[in-house]
Chain A
Amino acid sequence: MAHPPVVPAKTPAPGVFVWPRIRIPLSGWTLFALAVATLVMVPVGVTFSAFAHIEGDILAHLTEFVLPELMANTLWLVLGVGIGVSVLGVSLAWLVAIYDFPGRRLFDWALLLPLALPAYVTAFVAIGLLDFTGPLQTWLREGWGITGLPEIRSRGGVILVMSLALYPYVYLIARNAFATQGAIALEAAQSLGLSRRQGFFRVALPMARPWIAAGLMLALMETLADFGTVAIFNYDTFTTAIYKAWYSLFSLPAAAQLASILILFVLVAVVFEQRSRMRMRYGGIGRGAASRRLRLPPGRALAATLYCGAVFTVAFAVPIVQLALWARDTFATDLDARYWGFVWRSLLLSGMGALLVVAVALLLAYAGRQRPGPMMMWTQRLATLGYAFPGAVLAVGLFIPVAALDNALIDAGRAWFGLERTAWLKGTLLVVMLAYLVRFLAVGFGPIDSGLHRITRNIDEAARNLGLGAAGLLTRVHLPMLRASLFTAASLAFVDIMKEMPITLMTRPFGWDTLAVRVFEMTSEGEWERAALPSLAIVVAGIIPIVLLSWRGAHTHD
């Protein structure tokens, strides 16, 4: 009988949860996790190292003419969108989670649909509709003689559009918090003599604060990362400045220096978000006793329906209808071979990116199961921090090291093999794929990791008791049990990559124009109608996982 190797004598402290281990020579799992974390940290290091070789005149130009405006624009945007998404997200979440009113069941998931609309799509639809030459102003002016409507291409306009596009981040997470603890908190408050209104402000809202803060920080990270919307509005922020430094000034150091300042903003948001998550973990949601929904008196119920309906209409229905109308007008001329090329390359890039993300996320989650401990936990956290980094930053931060590596390869190829090539890696899909991986790893890691956590140690042990080895455990138990999580991870990553604009724009190989790139090109020329058809394809792809996920959420018990 073969004697299997002994489990290492190093035993963990009592009470520490130990997963049964699949033995792999050396700690391959740990090395893998560290490698992923390093890859994620590279762009940050690279952008900061740009300060090591400052080009004096560019920096002087930046600080004198560019930075003050960028700073002001960014701060106003963050402030405005922060207030906007909080008010919209929390109020909608409270209504839907606590009260009953006509249409509530529909709004419950329909209010998530704006997630499928990239903010840049909402942006160009809003401009197309509300601009001086747009149908609304034209109609008011010519039919009624009304002029002097506020200009949509303004700071207020950007804030409004981004709030409408990003409120679902707050709505989603606050709704879950309210649904599990809100009603109980409210009842407890009322039993202690508070009115409903006082109960909301003094108990339910403070209790849900960590959740709201986490959702808010996600929305603000998206705000800081946004490129498409602010480009359409000609509202200069760091992302557009990085893009201009890259393409107009051809100055990588300037782009990197701008990127590093943007990273500072992002890191503040990251710290707040991580802190809220900690408080969420320890605050703990109470027992989710499904208490009955509170019935609103008819007048207020109507007001609730109208309010939810208005947000849904403005944030989703109107843009979709307008896109469809524009698409119908341009359908005949634009639905050609070139269009199918955009679709094909979008599907290809998103598909490859999603596969890469899911594969790495699965391995990273598995690494945590095989080698648990505080070091692995921190490594995983760092490795999944990329969701916070704006695409424009990642493009710069990954292009610089890859270009350096490429130069080394060119020299080495020439010296050792006599090969004359101008590029080995530049112009390949490497940079795009790495950037997608860094940015969207968290999107894939979340569902896979929680899916893996649902497979208890006892399940593993039961399988081994019944005679299964490591390989059998993976193929017969883990993968079948993870199927839903893998699907969720892949579809979320797929859609996010499809919507993604700056990474694709800045690092795609020559000729790899996707739907998002096409939208950018058309909108930067103000051709809203012609941006509609590619946008519509992106939106349709984005709706599918939202519908699937909310359907599954409503029909399963975990």
Chain B
Amino acid sequence: MAELVLDSVSQSYGGRAIIDRLSFTLPQGAIGCLLGPSGCGKTTALRCISGFEPIREGTIRIDGETVSRPGWMLAAEKRRVGMVFQDYALFPHLTVAGNVGFGLRGQSPADVHARVEALLDLVGLSGHADQHPHQLSGGQQQRVALARALAPRPRLILMDEPFSNLDVELRERLSLEVRDILKREAMTALIVTHDQNEAFALADWIGVMHEGRIQQWASPYDLYHEPANRFVADFVGQGALLVGEVLDERQIRIELGVLNGRLPAAHDGDDAYACGRQVDVLLRPDDIVHDDDSPLQAEVENKAFRGAEFLYTLRLPSGQRALSLVPSHHNHAIGEKIGIKLAVDHVVAFRRP
């Protein structure tokens, strides 16, 4: 239940930067998420925060107390930082209750018992106290791991790919459950994952990581609708880039019409968005709406059935491609021409490389 601050934290192995000037602030009680492809440095960042990895530069502070700086780190066992491991790392020789109560030392047996009971109740495993980890399902083991980490009332909980060992259906349900539990305990938590659905379901704040750096630290909504750069736009959600021409600071013309809105001129910090410049405009599948009456026509090049909707890959007259999410009762054949129109709320444009 504390604020976590990373200030320009770097770490490298053999001259290669694993994390590079990482900075973010996770407010008290918030759930943060480091999202990125494998090898982006997110797990190293987690290990730096948990105290298993020294840092080269910067500081890590929990509740204003510096826990890591170059040349010094507070030992992991003294940080009061709880961790839920990818493989759960439950102690196989102890029962569920033994695992959950493991970190509760220096307390009377009655207090330990009460705390363990309360936590098992919280994670919905009251009846399983005397079982051993191998007798539980993956989802149950996951919740034991969470209860074990919560038990000593840490200042902060870290979770490393917490749902990657579970099947997809369970993953979704459990991520909502975990969010609920963390919120009820008002616990500050930082989660590492490569799965954006998981990040969207769990997090108040998401930091997209790539090559050791945070590309953008924002709410899930902003991340999707206002990605700061091409990497974020590409990694989070689906979309297509269309060539556009800047008309003035509020308008861009693309093949499908003119987009109105504030241009994100500040992001790349040069005159990329001067009038007459060519830019790449990000169109999400929900930015293009199917409309039979529209004069704008595009050819269906590919389609993927998603149940409630189709994701159509459309070929525009110029040959450029765009994606469109269409309710699934509009079932069109490949090769058919369909009417479309723009429905863009947030204009996202990047200068052309």
Contacts and interface: CB of A to CB of B under 8 A. Distances in A.
A13 B14 contact: yes
B152 to A, nearest CB: 6
Contacts of A480: 93-94
A476 B82 CA distance: 19
Indicate the size class of the contact surface on chain A: 20 to 34
A458 B87 contact: yes
A510 B178 CA distance: 70
Contacts of B88: 458
Interface string B63-88: 00000000111111111011101111
B105 A467 contact: yes
Contacts of B82: 465-466
B89 A4 contact: no
B250 interface: no
A459 B91 contact: yes
Interface in B175-234: none
Contacts of B52: 20, 461, 464
B81 A465 contact: yes
Interface in A263-285: none
B164 to A, nearest CB: 13
B13 A456 contact: no
A467 B154 CA distance: 10
Nearest to A6: B71
B50 A456 contact: no
Contacts of B87: 456, 458
Contacts of A13: 13-14
Contact of A461 (B71, B72, B85): B85
A68 interface: no
Nearest to A473: B77
Contacts of A459: 89, 91
Contacts of A374: none
B177 to A, nearest CB: 21
B72 A464 contact: no
A481 B92 CA distance: 7
B149 interface: yes
The DSSP consensus for interface residues of chain B is: loop
Interface in B149-190: 149, 151-152
B136 to A, nearest CB: 14
B327 interface: no
Contacts of B91: 459, 462-463, 477, 481
B72 A466 contact: no
A6 B71 CA distance: 6
A461 B83 contact: yes
Contacts of A9: 54
A5 to B, nearest CB: 9
Nearest to B101: A466
A7 B54 contact: yes
B134 interface: yes
A200 B81 CA distance: 56
A469 B76 CA distance: 9
A471 to B, nearest CB: 11
Contacts of A14: 13-14, 16, 18
A557 B90 CA distance: 17
Given A477-B91, A481-B91, A464 B13 contact: no
B148 interface: yes
Interface string A472-507: 000011001101000000000000000000000000
Of B77, B86, B105, which is in contact with the most chain A CB atoms at under 10 Å from its CB? B77
Given A458-B87, A465-B77, A11 B92 contact: no
B74 to A, nearest CB: 8
B342 to A, nearest CB: 45
A292 interface: no
A403 to B, nearest CB: 47
A465 B50 contact: yes
B133 to A, nearest CB: 11
B86 A458 contact: yes
The 4 A-B residue pairs whose C-beta atoms are closest, nearest first, are A466-B103, A458-B89, A458-B85, A462-B89
8 contacts: A458-B87, A459-B89, A461-B50, A465-B103, A466-B77, A466-B149, A466-B151, A467-B105
Given A462-B89, A465-B77, A465-B103, 6 more contacts: A6-B73, A11-B12, A458-B85, A462-B85, A465-B79, A466-B151
